[in-house]
Amino acid sequence: MSLWEIIRRLYPYVLPYKRLVLSTLLLTLVGSLAAQVNPFVLRYTVDTVQGLLDAHKGLAQGLDLLIVVSALLLGKEIVNTFIQFGQKFYGEKIRINVSSTLSQDAIHKLLGYQLGFYSESGNQTGKLQTRIDRGVESLMKLVQNFFIDILPLFANAVVALVIMFTANVYVGLVALFILPIYFWISYRQADKLNGTRRALRSLREQKSQGLVNLIDSAVVIKSFVREDYEEEKQNQLQQNLQEAQLQTRKTNFLYDGLKTFVEQVGVVLIIILTAYLVLDRQISIGAIMFHILLFNNVSAPIRQLHRIYDEMNEALTYSEGFFDILDADDAKEATGPIQPDQVRGTFEICNVDFTYPSGTQALYDVCLTIEEGKTTALVGLSGAGKSTIINLLCKFYEPDRGKMLLDGRPLADYDTHALRQRIGLVLQKNHIFKGTIEENIRYGNMHATFEEVVEAGKQAYLHQQIMELPKQYQSDAQQLSGGQQQRIAIARLFLKNPPIIFLDEPTASLDAIATEQIKNSLDAIKQGRTVVIISHSLAQIVDSDCIYVMKQGRMVESGTHDELYDMKGTYREIFDASARSLNIEKIARVMADDGDEVMDTAG
């Protein structure tokens, strides 16, 4: 990305603050003029003092001069303080405002992208966050540099150079002659340091990330007695950091020394030239100081040049990744025009193929029908493609090929948000947000009253346990056990109260008692709704109205439990294996010995 391209992209973000920008520019102009007051005042002072001395006058006659000069210098400093404050404050205000708009824009865009966008390489959680943080940070440095460093410093330099030329062309030419050398050294310095700032930061991040990992992995490290190994890994990182830091410092000291030398050569040349011109009676003695101070104003920005150049390079590197996030319009979630008042929930899937963005084909020519008001189960070994079907039904992804209909109309034509409002999704592991239990349950319906939240907690068989916590519904939800967190997700579902429910292994992380309670509770919520359930637990699926069996991305069997059992195919294989793994025979025998009548069910 070129600098021009970045400016073009930032322009709309800066535009709303054009009055601030104009004020900053005005202050910059005034500031650059104020910065030249010292040379003028000093020249005037030296020349006047010289005049007084030549006229054999003393302190008494010079007192007025001292008062005027002091007042002028102090007055200028007061004005300058205000100018600098305004300039920095306005510059910072622009930076902070633009930065938050950019970050917010990135979040807005991200939330609108398909799930596939997040799993693309380079977009995974950590990387995406780094791209946004680094992008915004480096772009903001550019804005900050422009308003706080580049603009004021270069304005000062240009004004000072023009004054030098106006005062004396030869002195102006000497200053101008030094500039390219100075520029060249700064350019070499920036070139040499190119990327080292980035490398240093990356090493520092690795170091701090390494520490976090150490703490997170403490149990594993200790149990495998890998303390020495981990320490050596950290030591290596520290060595690399140390070397990089020393190298950077060395380069900086070397080039800074060179620049100071060249600057001093400039000062010496100006002293020699101005002294010659004074002796030749072409200029006054005060002009020596005058030109040296002006030259100082000219060289000041170039002292900063390598830093500005480096930060600009950084902005060029990181802004590209950042703007790529803003520009990923093809990753936007598709939506359709249908705003359903009601959905009945009959899904028809016909000859559907689907491939994940990573390239894994998960579904091959899949056909199934999910009938409204009934419970449909999806069964199959791990990786068969069951969850993928739910992903497609929720419109998280679009199929490569085939037909998907809801109540007879193409799923793609439904407004995505309206459709999802009518779907309740409970997964094997549900996300619990940082916050209280109440906030987490209320996620199911933001307008629910506290009483409704409590009611949902009761329906999910969680209320009792919540009431035993010290802060009850105000307790930190992330501190709950896996099973309790699962019930939070089920409570959310009760609160959302959707006509369609997708359950993807909803009881996988629950204990036996909780599983039974949740099963009862889910059985209650299933009434009159369209339910699709995925479960490796046979107890969850045997009662389903229809069971679809999947194998390696293909639909291989369908029917009721009895039909599939008799078919002696894949379902029967899975069923028998499950029964064996549960040691059902023995359990049944024990229960039969107890006079229980479970034998029938087990058979």
Q: Are β-strands 375-380 and 347-355 bridged in parallel, bridged antiparallel, or unpaired?
A: unpaired
Please count the other Cβ atoms lying within 10 Å of the Cβ belonging to residue 27. 24
**Residue 7 vs 577, nearer CB to ligand ATP:** 577
C-beta of residue 378 within 8 angstroms of C-beta of residue 403 = no
Query: Which DSSP category does 329 fall into?
Result: G
Each as own residue / partner, the long-range contacts of residues 355-363 (CB below 8 Å, 24 or more positions apart, any chain) are: 355/400, 356/116, 356/119, 356/388, 356/397, 357/116, 357/117, 357/119, 357/120, 358/119, 358/120, 361/553, 362/388, 362/553, 363/388, 363/389, 363/392, 363/399, 363/553, 363/554
Binding mask 113-152 for ligand ATP (x = CB under 6 A): ------x---------------------------------
Q: How far is the CB of 428 from ligand ATP (least distance, A)?
A: 7
364 binds ligand ATP (CB under 6 A): no
506 binds ligand ATP (CB under 6 A): no
The binder of ligand ATP chosen from 13, 165, 356, 565 (CB under 6 A):
356
Q: Which region, judged by CB under 6 A, interacts with ligand ATP, from 128-136, 180-188, 290-298, 378-386?
A: 378-386
The binder of ligand ATP chosen from 121, 166, 382, 581 (CB under 6 A):
382
388 binds ligand ATP (CB under 6 A): yes
Q: How far is the CB of 549 from ligand ATP (least distance, A)?
A: 11
Q: Which region, judged by CB under 6 A, interacts with ligand ATP, from 5-13, 248-256, 358-366, 507-515?
A: 358-366
CA distances from 24 to 88, 305, 368, 386 (A): 8, 21, 65, 60
Q: Which of residues 455-484 bind ligand ATP (CB under 6 A)?
A: none
Amino acid at 283: I
The binder of ligand ATP chosen from 362, 393, 488, 514 (CB under 6 A):
362
The binder of ligand ATP chosen from 383, 435, 559, 569 (CB under 6 A):
383
Helix (H) or strand (E) holding 243: helix 227-279
Burial of 303 (0-12, 13-18, 19+ CB in 10 A): middle
Q: Which of residues 549-568 bind ligand ATP (CB under 6 A)?
A: none
CA distances from 571 to 88, 384, 544, 558 (A): 72, 13, 14, 9
358 binds ligand ATP (CB under 6 A): yes
Give Rg (Cα) of the chain: 37
CA distances from 355 to 86, 142, 343, 385, 441 (A): 56, 41, 28, 11, 34
The binder of ligand ATP chosen from 135, 172, 266, 385 (CB under 6 A):
385
**Residue 127 vs 249, nearer CB to ligand ATP:** 127
10 binds ligand ATP (CB under 6 A): no
360 binds ligand ATP (CB under 6 A): yes
380 binds ligand ATP (CB under 6 A): yes
How many angstroms separate the CA atoms of 369 and 503, rounded? 17
**Residue 305 vs 378, nearer CB to ligand ATP:** 378
**Residue 39 vs 385, nearer CB to ligand ATP:** 385
Q: How far is the CB of 356 from ligand ATP (least distance, A)?
A: 3
How many angstroms separate the CA atoms of 35 and 219, rounded? 62
- Total interface residues for ligand ATP by CB under 6 A: 13
570 binds ligand ATP (CB under 6 A): no
Query: Which DSSP category does 412 fall into?
Result: G
For ligand ATP, the binding residues (CB under 6 A) are: 119, 356, 358, 360, 362, 380, 382-388
